[in-house]
Amino acid sequence: MIGNGILKGLTETARNFFGSYVSKDRLTTVQYPEQKIPQIEASRNFPFLVYDGADWDAGMRCVACQICEKECPPKCIFIEKSKDKKPDAVGKAQFYPARFDIDISVCMSCQICVEVCPFDAIKMDVEFDLPTDNRFSGLLLDRHKLAKSNDYYHQIHPTEASAVDAALAEERAKTAAKAAAAPPVAAAAAKPAAPATAATATSAAPQPAAASTPKPAEGDAK
Amino acid sequence: MIALMNSGAFSAENLDQIFVLAKHALLARTPGMLQPLASAIISIVPLMIVFPLLFAITTILERKGLGRMQNRYGPNRVGPFGLLQPAADGIKALIKEDVVPAAADQLVHFFAPVVFVAAAFLGYSVLPIGRNMVLVNLNAGVLFFFAVGSVVELSVFMAGWSSRSKYSLLGAMRAIAQMISYEVPLVLAAVPAIMAAGSLSTVDIVEAQAGYTGIFPHWFLFTPWGIVGFGLFLIAATAESNRSPFDLPEGESEIIAGYFIEYSGFKFALFFLAEYLGMFATSALGITLFLGGWSAPLSFLSFIPSWIWFFTKLLALIFFFIWIRGTLPRLRMDQLMGFAWKFILPMALLNVFVTGLWRFLPAGPLNSIRWAVCAAVLAAPCIVLSQSLKQKKKLLLRTYHFAE
Q: What integer pLDDT is reported at residue A205 of this predicted model?
A: 42
Beta strand extents in B286-385 (DSSP E only): none
pLDDT at B249 over 80: no
CB contact under 8 A, B327 and A10: yes
User: According to the model, what pLDDT value does residue B314 have?
Assistant: 93
pLDDT in tens, B355-378: 888 888 877 777 788 888 888 888
Other Cβ atoms less than 10 A from the Cβ of B18: the count is 16
B73 touches A: beta carbon within 8 Å: yes
B chain contacts of residue A15, beta-carbon cutoff 8 Å:
none
Evaluate if pTM is beyond 0.90: no
CB-CB neighbors (< 8 A) of B389 in chain A: 2
Q: What is the pLDDT of residue A1?
A: 64
Per-residue pLDDT tens digits for A121-164: 999 998 888 889 988 888 999 989 899 999 999 988 999 899 99
Q: Which of A215-219, B63-67, B147-151, B262-266 has the lowest mean pLDDT?
A: A215-219
Please report residues of B whose CB lies closer than 8 A to that of A27: 71-73
Nearest to A29 among B72, B327, B383 (CB): B72
User: Domain spans of chain A?
Assistant: 47-221
CA closest to B326 among chain A residues:
A13
Best residue of A7, A17, A28 to probe chain B, by most B CBs closer than 10 Å: A17
Torsion on CA atoms B224, B225, B227, B232, rounded to nearest 10: 150
Q: How far apart are CA B206 and CA B146, in angstroms?
A: 18
Taking an 8 Å cut-off on Cβ atoms, the answer to whether B327 and A17 are in contact is no
CB of B52 within 8 Å of any CB in chain A?
A: no
Predicted confidence at residue B142, as pLDDT, reads: 92
Parallel/antiparallel/unpaired status of strands B216-217 and A122-124: unpaired
Angle at B166 between CA B164 and CA B168, to 5 degrees: 75
> Is the CB of A14 less than 8 angstroms away from the CB of B323?
yes
Supply the mean pLDDT for chain B: 85
Chain A residues near residue B383 by CB distance under 8 angstroms: 1-2
| Closest chain A residue to the Cα of B389, Cα to Cα | A2
Residue B373's identity, in one-letter code, is V
pLDDT, residue A166, reads: 92
Confidence class of residue B401 from pLDDT cuts 50, 70 and 90?
A: confident
A4–chain B nearest CA distance, Å: 12
Residue B379 pLDDT: 84
Q: Which of the four pLDDT bands, split at 50, 70 and 90, describes residue B150?
A: confident
Tell me: pLDDT of A36 over 70: yes
Give the Cα separation of B123 and B184 in Å (integer). Answer: 17
- Flag whether residue B327 sits within 8 Å of chain A, measured between CB atoms: yes
Q: What is the pLDDT of residue A114?
A: 92
Domain boundaries A47-221, CATH class:
alpha beta
Interface of chain A against chain B, CB under 8 Å? 1-2, 6, 9-10, 12-14, 16-17, 19-21, 26-29, 31
pLDDT tens digit string along B18-58? 888 888 888 888 888 888 888 888 889 988 899 999 999 99
Place B4 in a pLDDT band, splitting at 50, 70 and 90: very low
**pLDDT one-digit tens code per residue, B283-326:** 999 999 998 888 888 878 878 888 888 999 999 999 999 999 98
CA B60/CA B52 separation, integer angstroms:
13
Which one of A1, A18, A20 would you mutate to disrupt binding with B, by most B Cβ within 10 Å of its Cβ? A20
Mean pLDDT of A50-79: 90
H helices of B198-329, in order, are 202-208, 224-240, 252-255, 265-290, 306-327
Long-range CB contacts for residues A210-218, cutoff 8 Å, separation at least 24: A211/A52, A211/A53, A212/A52, A212/A53, A212/A89, A212/A168, A212/A169, A212/A172, A213/A169, A213/A172, A215/A52, A215/A150, A215/A165, A215/A168, A215/A169, A216/A162, A216/A165, A216/A166, A216/A168, A216/A169
Asked if B346 reaches chain A (Cβ–Cβ under 8 Å), the answer is no
Between the alpha carbon of residue B216 and those of residues B204, B212, B220, B241, the distances in Å are: 20, 5, 12, 32
Q: Is the pLDDT of residue B101 over 60?
A: yes
Helix residue ranges per DSSP H, chain A: 4-22, 67-71, 112-116, 143-146, 150-156, 158-181, 183-190, 195-204, 206-212, 214-221
Compute the average pLDDT of residues B252-264.
78
Report CB contact under 8 Å: B383, A2: yes
Closest by Cβ to B323, choosing from A1, A13, A27 = A13
Taking residues B144-167, report their average pLDDT.
Answer: 88
3-class secondary-structure state, position A36: coil
Contacts of A17 in chain B (CB under 8 A): 65, 68-69, 323, 326
Of A1, A13, A28, the CB nearest to B69: A13
Picking from B71, B73, B324, the nearest residue to A16 by CB comes out as B71
Element (H, E) at A97: strand A97-103
The pLDDT value recorded for residue B11 is: 66
| Nearest CB neighbour to B73, from listed A6, A19, A29 | A29
Give the residues across from A103 on adjacent strands. A140
Instruction: Answer yes or no: do B69 and A16 touch at CB < 8 A.
Output: yes
Chain A interface disruption, residue of B62, B63, B71, most A CBs within 10 A: B71
Q: What are the residue ranges spanned by the domains of chain B?
A: 2-30, 96-388
ipTM of the complex: 0.77
Task: Choose between A2 and A100: higher pLDDT.
Answer: A100
Residue A134 and residue B176: Cα distance in Å, rounded? 48
Alpha carbon B396 to its chain's center: 40
Q: Which residues pair with A147 in a beta bridge?
A: A49
Q: Classify the C-alpha dihedral B358-B360-B366-B367 as positive or negative.
A: positive
Please report the pLDDT score of residue A183 as a whole number: 59
- Given an 8 Å threshold on Cβ–Cβ distance, is A29 in contact with B65? no
